Amino acid sequence: MNARSALGRYGETLAARRLTETGLAVLERNWRAGRSGEIDIVARDGDVLVVCEVKTRRDGSFEHPMSAVTPEKAERLRALAQRWIQAHGGAPPGGVRIDLVGVVLPRRGAPVVEHVRGVA
């Protein structure tokens, strides 16, 4: 595993922990839909299915993690959510929400984990 993928995995672990702490149930991590892409975290928030994109950056990086979900990325996440629903027996009663968890790793001190609901 290279340093970049290790950084991403660490960020996803912190994100999953944050989601669980705030009452979401993590159903799956790194769900792949063939060549279509990957959902970092699939969770449930009550009766809502949550597709969660995780972006991890080191402090001082060029782009803040919260600016990483472009309209194209949001559309890809919506399509992946539909694929997940088809593969797992249909849509939940509460619908689907796309969230973003941004993780910033400072040079010193604790990581900053920010969860934004309904980004797309």
Domains of the chain (ranges, CATH numbers): 3-116 (3.40.1350.10)
- What single letter denotes the amino acid at residue 7? L
Question: Tell me, what's the pLDDT at 1?
Answer: 66
Provide the CB-side half-sphere exposure for 87 (13 A, CA): 12
- What single letter denotes the amino acid at residue 98? I
pLDDT digits (tens, 9 = 90+) for 53-75: 999 988 776 677 777 778 888 89
Question: Tell me, what's the pLDDT at 62?
Answer: 66
Q: How far is CA 114 from the centre of its chain?
A: 11
Question: What's the CA gap between 66 and 104, in Å, rounded?
Answer: 10
Positions in the chain short of pLDDT 70: 1, 61-62
